[in-house]
Amino acid sequence: MTQSYRIETGGLINRNKKISFKFNGVTYFGYEGDTLASALLANGVHLVGRSFKYHRPRGFFGAGVDEPYAVVQLYRNGETEPNIKATEQELFEGLEASSVNCWPSVNFDIGAINNFLKIFLPAGFYYKTFMWPKSFWYKIYEPFIRKAAGLGVASTKHDKERYEHKYEYCDFLIVGSGPSGLASAYSAAKNGAKVILAEDKPRYGGSLLTSDVNIGNQSGKDWADGIISELKEMPNVSVKNRSQVFGYYDHNMLVMSEKVSDHLPKTKKYHPNKRLWYIRAKEVLISSGSIERPIVFGNNDTPGVMLSSAAKEYLKVYGVLVGKKPLVFTNNDSGYETAIEFKKHGVDSIVLDSRSNPQSEIIDEAKNLGINIKNSYVVVAAQGYKKVKSADVATISEDKKTLGKIENIICDCICVSGFWTPTIHLASQSGNKTKFNEEIDAFVPGVSKQNESTLGAANGVFTLEETLKTSFDKGKELSKKITEKDNEVSIPNVVEKKYSKHDKFWCVPLPKGKNYKRFLDFQNDVAVSDVEIALREGYRSIEHVKRYTTLGMATDQGKTSNLNGLQLVSEIENKVVPSVGHTTFRPPYTPISIGAIVGREVGKHSKPTRKSPIHNWHEEHNAVFVDAGVWLRPRYYKKGNETLFEASKREAKNVRTNVGVCDVTTLGKIDVKGPDAAEFLNRVYTNAWLKLPVGKARYGVMLREDGVVMDDGTTTRISENHYHMTTTTAQAANVLSHLEYYLQLVWPELNVNVVSTTEQWAGAAIAGPKSRDLLKKLFPKTDVSNEGLPFMGYVEGDLFGVKARIFRISFSGELAYEVNVESDNGRFMWEKIIELGEEFQIQPYGTEALSTLRIEMGHVAGSELDGRTIPYDNALEGLLSKKKDFIGKRSLRRTAFVAEDRQRIVGVVPLDKKTSIPEGSHLVKDASAPLPNKKLGHISASCWSVEHDNPFSLAILKDGKNMIGEKLFVMSPLKNKVIPVEIVSSHYVDPKGERVRS
């Protein structure tokens, strides 16, 4: 294919480097420095997509961030990214892209039938129609809308690209490198201030790249180039292109997304794809310029209708003609610049000006060049389906209400200019109260809330001379306060053409008998008629109108549509725009990749990984690990081809018959020290602690103030004023904070100190009928007999020269001990246990076997203590002291907590003794009752009881106390299972607890 719309010379592209790319499977050529949009236009491709609702053909409307139509699916280096603006995507060798929101193809789209059914799809259509009948929603409407709507397709693959975050501080963050950005950056930098100048496009200069002006006897672009190269040389200045400042937050923190690699075929080694900058700036200067706004007319969404400034940019920057028979439709002088630019390249355009007799230098220049100008003329409707073929035009009366006779003009594009809208998004995000400027029919920043100033076109200043002067001054004045320097900067002479006043005209009336769609929001297909319906139906607030019609809610966030929408509402409501107000501007200014926001915190980098000092041994012995909070714990030790189920059964069985060892290093450990430690524990735990002797451990439950169980664990009195508290792995950090809260804020009079010792100790639980025999071998010098070390006893021992703490406590319900040594000796301890345990058939066991053992014993753990249960629910009411007060005690008197039929822990066994019960299933009385079936309780934990060799679960069941022996059903709609079950005691093994004391 030839680039038949590329002019011979000119533009800022590199014609020496030809680049091939594919769009919708067809290969085209462009040049280095092109965007995907400019390269497609150079090849005469205007049809790039289909609209959201009616699937109408869509082309290009802008040339940058404001683009509402041309979003594509991009393929790069084996990855795909949806919803990329073709007007922002730089061309690289091998780029592939395809249209979105069209099926089966962009040229033939079945959804376009909506276009002919459009009377059925007005504003609020989805709200009204798809509500009824209810059952149709899931089966018919929802899947259909899903297929028809939506933009691109997100990749389901793991993203191999890297994204970085960076934190930066500066005196000035200057957003935009147009004339005001350059001028203010220059004078601030000259005073020695630390400056970051951010430009979202690849090229610096903003409007100077396309305007026909002269600064200090050079062209605007040459002046900009000079300033930029001077700034780049300064050590206190950082100049960034491809960097979009998209959010303005509190305390002058702004966030900027820098596209580091998107313009390259492949990300360079060690480079990120994007870099997200968090910038705290003493002063923010917003010089984000302005965006041209359209004039609304019939079929104004036809490909080939575009902003006049975009047509000029394609020509001046990329050397591309958007058409060879252009029609320019304007209400101000900007349209003439585009017409003159066309003329310079030998293309004759016709200018339709809605004004009756405009006079200015630039209009004179156009006249002198022989450009055909028609005053008091408007475009009534564009004609052509996939591309503009002609335009229906007419004269318009002075009051803009009456059209003259319709004429037809052959053209291949319509360049429209409805004057300029300052880009005030960042200022508004900062909390600036914006105000309406009637002079320019747009909102401009008002009173600043943070240290922010808006300059140039973004502030509604449209002359270069004033922009440069105010910007140089602002940079100088603000930097003087920061650096206390006052270096003189000379303001260059400016030659520019003066503009005449624009016409307050934004929407062409419909001709009699015609019902053209006149679009306000091009991406979301919101037409004038939709807003009229919303208002007719009683929506008044602009925020409501926006949500009902989806005006301005597309990915372009209404950059080209908001003000016209406001004009329409104010006109129909007979109000002025400022009283209608604008909708809230929220970050991000433009869509930002999720990857950039997430940064490096993905996969294993999302949280720290904690490993026990015995971790390497586990690894060497085929442990399969599981995440337990931030810890990695062995779930089971795989032998041969064993499954998780087989291995955990083997490990648990071995604990019940011989002896097993489990790494319990991860349990939270807190040292509680001080003369008032006993009193403190007495308030924290529900049971009594004042009389616990030295060398004894006690099980305790702690509550939150609302009576709900917070955590449980054993605490041992090591010496007179020293207690060793253990917590569950998951709650360790919360418990420490909880204790500190009470000690620092509630009872500062208690002389107690707490400190985490979790990482100081490595722990091994030795459990099983042969555990005492093993312990004797490990500690030959220590009396570990039932009398010497009874249940809940504690002694210190000597493990072959290593100091050890021995606790006789049990989670598995077997005769069991827990041995702690200093972390560095953890592996030594473990290997000794394995070595000496060999003769007792010792096996290590993981968390899965650990769960099995505790579940069949009816010991509660995290799945029962889930933040929704009180002591009674867990059969822990025996631990509630009646004699003393404790945290949360007063709440236990609440009516619901003392109800007769209060929920309580029970055991659940399937009647067939075979079917495993999924955790989280519900318990119901009648499996065939109509929905919603009343839920009586839920399964909190399930295992295969190794003692009984059948499935067993724990459940929290309403009136559990009186339900033992009842037959119920377990239902799991997720797994599509209904299981008849019997309710039994939660203590399924050794209900009297004899083993732990044996």
Partner 1 sequence: MRSQNEFSYGGDATVKRPEINKEVTDQEWDNFVYNRVSPRGKHLELWQHLSGCRQWIKVERDTATHEIFNTYKANEEIA
What is the layout of strands, in order, in the sheet containing 218-219?
A: 218-219, 214-215, 494-495
In which region does residue 426 sit, left (phi positive, over 0), alpha (psi from -120 to 50) or beta (all else)?
Answer: alpha
**Backbone φ and ψ of 257, nearest 5°:** -110, 120
Q: Which of 447, 745, 931, 974 binds partner 1 (CB under 8 A)?
A: 745
**Binding piece for partner 1, criterion CB under 8 A, among 568-576, 739-747, 771-779, 857-865:** 739-747
For 142, other C-beta atoms within 10 Å of its C-beta total 12
Please list the residues that pair with 819 across neighbouring strands: 764, 806
Kindly tell me which of 315 and 684 has the beta carbon lying closer to partner 1. Answer: 684
Which of 329, 325, 343 shows the shortest CA–CA distance to 389? 325
Does residue 303 have a cis peptide bond before it, meaning omega lies within 30 degrees of 0?
Answer: no
Q: Minimum distance between the CB of residue 748 and partner 1, rounded to whole angstroms?
A: 5
Kindly tell me which of 739 and 954 has the beta carbon lying closer to partner 1. Answer: 739
Reported as type and span, the H/E element at residue 534 is: helix 528-536
> What does the alpha-carbon distance between residue 93 and residue 188 come to, in Å, rounded to a whole number?
39
Kindly tell me which of 250 and 399 has the beta carbon lying closer to partner 1. Answer: 250
Q: For residues 209 and 315, is the Cβ–Cβ distance under 8 A? A: no
Task: Please list every residue from 73 through 102 that binds partner 1, using CB under 8 A.
Answer: none
Q: Which of 885, 912, 949, 994 binds partner 1 (CB under 8 A)?
A: 885
Q: Minimum distance between the CB of residue 708 and partner 1, rounded to whole angstroms?
A: 11
Q: Which of 364, 705, 838, 839 binds partner 1 (CB under 8 A)?
A: 705
**Binding piece for partner 1, criterion CB under 8 A, among 9-17, 409-417, 733-741, 897-905:** 733-741
**Binding piece for partner 1, criterion CB under 8 A, among 24-32, 86-94, 134-142, 743-751:** 743-751
606 near partner 1 (CB under 8 A): no
Q: Which of 385, 747, 897, 944 binds partner 1 (CB under 8 A)?
A: 747
> What does the alpha-carbon distance between residue 73 and residue 154 come to, in Å, rounded to a whole number?
9
Q: Give 139-178 as a DSSP string.
A: IIIHHHHHHHS--S----S-----EEEEEEEEEEEEE--S
884 near partner 1 (CB under 8 A): yes
Kindly tell me which of 745 and 974 has the beta carbon lying closer to partner 1. Answer: 745
Kindly tell me which of 10 and 431 has the beta carbon lying closer to partner 1. Answer: 431
Q: Minimum distance between the CB of residue 706 and partner 1, rounded to whole angstroms?
A: 5
**Binding piece for partner 1, criterion CB under 8 A, among 523-531, 694-702, 735-743, 796-804:** 735-743
**Binding piece for partner 1, criterion CB under 8 A, among 135-143, 294-302, 523-531, 745-753:** 745-753
Q: Which of 25, 748, 801, 930 binds partner 1 (CB under 8 A)?
A: 748
Q: Minimum distance between the CB of residue 557 and partner 1, rounded to whole angstroms?
A: 25
User: Both tokens of residue 839?
Assistant: 């003769």
Q: Cα–Cα–Cα angle for 763, 765, 770, nearest 5°? A: 145
Kindly tell me which of 25 and 748 has the beta carbon lying closer to partner 1. Answer: 748
**Binding piece for partner 1, criterion CB under 8 A, among 814-822, 860-868, 885-893, 907-915:** 885-893
Kindly tell me which of 117 and 745 has the beta carbon lying closer to partner 1. Answer: 745
Kindly tell me which of 619 and 705 has the beta carbon lying closer to partner 1. Answer: 705
Contacts for 257-263: CB closer than 8 Å, 24+ residues apart: 257/592, 257/593, 257/596, 261/161, 262/76, 262/89, 262/90, 263/90, 263/92, 263/202
Task: Please list every residue from 894 through 913 that binds partner 1, using CB under 8 A.
Answer: none
* CB-neighbour burial class of residue 32 (10 A; exposed 0-12, middle 13-18, buried 19+): middle
For 93, other C-beta atoms within 10 Å of its C-beta total 14
Q: For residues 72 and 89, is the Cβ–Cβ distance under 8 A? A: yes
868 near partner 1 (CB under 8 A): no
Q: For residues 123 and 531, is the Cβ–Cβ distance under 8 A? A: yes
The count of chain residues that interact with partner 1, using the rule CB under 8 A, is 17
Q: Give 232-283 as a DSSP string.
A: HH-TTEEEESSEEEEEEEGGGEEEEEEESSTTSSSPPTT--SEEEEEEEEEE
> What does the alpha-carbon distance between residue 743 and residue 445 come to, in Å, rounded to a whole number?
50
Kindly tell me which of 141 and 747 has the beta carbon lying closer to partner 1. Answer: 747
Kindly tell me which of 478 and 703 has the beta carbon lying closer to partner 1. Answer: 703
119 near partner 1 (CB under 8 A): no
Does residue 588 have a cis peptide bond before it, meaning omega lies within 30 degrees of 0?
Answer: yes
741 near partner 1 (CB under 8 A): yes
Q: How far apart are the first and last CA of the chain?
A: 90
* Amino acid code (one letter) for 305: V
Kindly tell me which of 863 and 891 has the beta carbon lying closer to partner 1. Answer: 891
Kindly tell me which of 798 and 885 has the beta carbon lying closer to partner 1. Answer: 885
Which residues make Cβ contacts (< 8 Å) with residue 151, sequence separation at least 6?
Answer: 52, 71, 82, 83, 100, 101, 555
> What does the alpha-carbon distance between residue 855 and residue 878 come to, in Å, rounded to a whole number?
20
251 near partner 1 (CB under 8 A): yes
Residue 590 carries which DSSP code? S
**Binding piece for partner 1, criterion CB under 8 A, among 416-424, 627-635, 772-780, 884-892:** 884-892
Q: Minimum distance between the CB of residue 580 and partner 1, rounded to whole angstroms?
A: 25
Q: Which of 746, 899, 911, 929 binds partner 1 (CB under 8 A)?
A: 746
Q: Minimum distance between the CB of residue 878 and partner 1, rounded to whole angstroms?
A: 22
Q: Minimum distance between the CB of residue 745 and partner 1, rounded to whole angstroms?
A: 5
Q: Which of 627, 706, 759, 783 binds partner 1 (CB under 8 A)?
A: 706
User: Both tokens of residue 959?
Assistant: 């009136």
| Strands (E) located in 288-376 | 290-292, 305-307, 326-330, 350-353, 372-375
579 near partner 1 (CB under 8 A): no
> What does the alpha-carbon distance between residue 395 and residue 417 come to, in Å, rounded to a whole number?
17
Q: Which of 357, 579, 606, 744 binds partner 1 (CB under 8 A)?
A: 744
Kindly tell me which of 80 and 450 has the beta carbon lying closer to partner 1. Answer: 450
**Binding piece for partner 1, criterion CB under 8 A, among 486-494, 619-627, 738-746, 967-975:** 738-746
Q: Which of 890, 948, 967, 975 binds partner 1 (CB under 8 A)?
A: 890
250 near partner 1 (CB under 8 A): yes
Kindly tell me which of 94 and 867 has the beta carbon lying closer to partner 1. Answer: 867
Kindly tell me which of 570 and 891 has the beta carbon lying closer to partner 1. Answer: 891
Contact letters for partner 1, residues 478-497 (x by CB under 8 A): --------------------
**Binding piece for partner 1, criterion CB under 8 A, among 26-34, 133-141, 191-199, 740-748:** 740-748
Residue 528 carries which DSSP code? H
* Amino acid code (one letter) for 904: R
> What sign does the CA torsion over 225, 226, 228, 229 have?
positive
Q: Minimum distance between the CB of residue 158 and partner 1, rounded to whole angstroms?
A: 27
Q: Minimum distance between the CB of residue 647 and partner 1, rounded to whole angstroms?
A: 38
**Binding piece for partner 1, criterion CB under 8 A, among 391-399, 494-502, 737-745, 777-785:** 737-745
891 near partner 1 (CB under 8 A): yes
Which residues make Cβ contacts (< 8 Å) with residue 527, sequence separation at least 6?
Answer: 517, 518, 519, 520
Backbone Cα Rg of the chain: 37
601 near partner 1 (CB under 8 A): no
537 near partner 1 (CB under 8 A): no
Interface residue list for partner 1 (CB under 8 A): 250-251, 683, 705-706, 737, 740-741, 744-748, 884-885, 890-891
